[in-house]
Structure 1
Amino acid sequence: MMPDYVAGRNSVSEVLKSGRAVNKVFIARGNTEGSIRAIVGMIKERKIPLQEVDKQYLDKLTGERHQGIVAEVAPYEYVEIEDIIAIARDKGEEPLVVILADLEDPHNFGAILRTGEAAGIHGVIIPKRRGVQLNATVAKVSSGAAEYVPVARVANLVQAVEKLKELGLWVTGADMHGEKNLWQADLRGPLALIIGGEGRGIPKLLKEKCDFLTNIPMKGAISSLNASAAAAVLLFEVQRQRSKMEE
């Protein structure tokens, strides 16, 4: 299996902190100042091979802005849906899962991972086909969150939703025509939030499996938010409602 590459100082730093297997780290020749020095210290502490190369070599390894450092890592390990629920149960928390339906933009995926990690989600579910997968771009945009948020990859999202319901989760979809707005919807219990693909929204069959649809009230001329912005608004409303319940 081909290795993956993680580029950028913050992303490489989080990979090292997470304990994920790192085969080798490349740094641009002469690039040893600032935050790179602390990262090099972690690399040496973990006894990971470190190689100085020309900047052009790093450019070829990844199309992303690499800030003079790229790590060669083992491919991402996907988990099972049951693993995500077990993580929540072990923490004594109500499960909070994000389902990405046909999302294609790796920048949206990375942003959702970053926001989701901050909002306390327990995992993300993506389809094996017709959607963006975990890759170097996603990892870079997530600013390291890809190392901490488990991702399950499934053959059929409809079946995945049915399984989540069997495991006790309510399912809501983010939809501009949803029957409840985010303040009316009860988002406090075990929950799966479906975010649709750019421009297309949630597929019809998947939408029909939702227990309810949730909209975000819009006051401006723009009628909708992009996928990562919508996910951020809804996830932090979940946390607001849950924190009120704990008071």
Structure 2
Amino acid sequence: MEGKDRLMYIYGVNPVIEAFKFKEALQELYIAKNRLPKIKELIKLAEKHSVSVKVVDEDFINKRVEGNHQGVLAKIKQKKTITVYDAIRISEESKEPAFFLILDLIEDPQNFGAILRVADAAGVHAVIYQERRSAGIVPSVWKASAGAVWHVNLVEINNIKYAIKELKNVGISVYALEASGERILWECNFTQPLAFVVGSEGKGIRQTVLSMCDEVVKIPMKGMLNSLNVSVAAGVLAFEVLKQRHYRI
């Protein structure tokens, strides 16, 4: 992010391609001179949308971001977050039962970004996360999400416990996904308005957050390990919800 203009860098081909779908999001595009033959599509899009393109040495990009940037860097306007009440309104206007994901202190950008990709694919109305001790919407999360950040409603909040309380106040059931759950995921009825809490791999969901949830459920495990990567687990639960709501046989 840069000063009061709330500009930031994102990198990678897919996140930048997605940025072209949002009017005035892209401010400048930087392309490493040694990658030019492979990314002609980006240059054509930039010309179409009147976005300035600068051909730079790859070191210029390396100094600004970490990770596999594919020779592409863009300066963008920071995506705006919404409030819990905005999220509830969006779910109501969709004419579908509410479906939210609540992330309890997920600090790994790869997991955070992968969950946003799941949220976009499964039609989650919003992803709610805590401002502190979470990865947040940093450049590596944009890259890990393959650009899904652009399409997911994001609620950044001081304390997710407040969000849980407000969701429950309007009749939205809050589930936690933990290995300690009593019922298996697909034994539950997820056709009603709901939110799902997932926690970090290292510590899981905090006990104070678990105590606020209506029910703790689990994914059955047949192997020697008792848990999945949090983004994989989020994918399993999200598509179980989607299956129950739209693809009942």
TM-score range, shorter chain: over 0.9
Deviations, residues 18-61 of structure 1 (Å, cap 9, x unaligned):
33522211011153324x21221221122111111001111111
Of all paired residues, the percent bearing the same amino acid is 35
Aligned partner of 1:198 in structure 2 is 201
Q: Deviations over 1:194-214 (max 9, x none)?
A: 001121111111101111011
**Which of 231, 237, 241 is equivalent to 1:228?**
231
Change (3 A) 1:214 1:20: farther
Give 2:97's aligned residue.
94
Q: What is the aligned partner in structure 2 of residue 5 from structure 1?
A: 9
**Which residue is equivalent to 2:37?**
33
1:17 is aligned to 2:15 = no
The separation in 2 between residues aligned to 1:16 and 1:221, in whole angstroms, is 45
Measure the CA separation in 1 of the matches of 2:160 and 2:102: 8
Measure, in 2, the Cα distance between the counterparts of 1:155 and 1:210: 18
* Two-structure CA RMSD over aligned residues (Å): 1.4
Q: Which amino acid aligns with 2:162?
A: Q
The question of whether the paired residues in 2 share the 8 Å contact of 1:104 and 1:198 is answered with no
Equivalence map 1:43-58=2 (5 Å) = 43-58=46-61
The answer (yes or no) to whether the contact 2:34–2:58 under 8 Å persists in 1 is no
Question: What residue ranges of structure 1 are gaps of 5+ in the alignment?
Answer: none
Structure-2 separation of matches of 1:87 and 1:130: 26
Tell me the equivalent position of 1:148.
151
SS at match of 1:228: helix
Residue 82 (structure 1) shift:
1.6
Residue in structure 2 matching 1:179, options 151, 167, 182: 182
Tell me how far apart the structure 2 counterparts of residues 230 and 142 of structure 1 sit (CA, whole Å): 16
Q: Secondary structure at the match of 1:17?
A: coil
**Distance change (3 Å), C-alpha of 1:29 and 1:244:** closer
Displacement after TM superposition at 1:62 (Å): 0.8
- Aligned residue for 1:224, secondary structure, equals coil
**Matched AA of 1:156:** N
Deviations 1:74-130 (A, max 9, x none): 223111112222222222111110000011101000000011111110110011112
Normalising by structure 1, we get a TM-score of 0.95
Post-superposition CA distance 1:133-153 (Å, at most 9, x none): 111000001001000001111
Distance in 2 between the 1:53 and 1:136 partners? 19
1:50 & 1:70 partners in 2: Cα distance? Answer: 10
Q: How many residues align?
A: 245
Name 1:118's counterpart in structure 2.
Answer: 121
Which residue identity does 1:33 align to in structure 2? P
Q: Choose 178-187 or 143-152, whichever is displaced more.
A: 178-187
With normalisation by structure 2, the TM-score equals 0.94
2:136 match: 133
SS in 1 for 2:20: helix
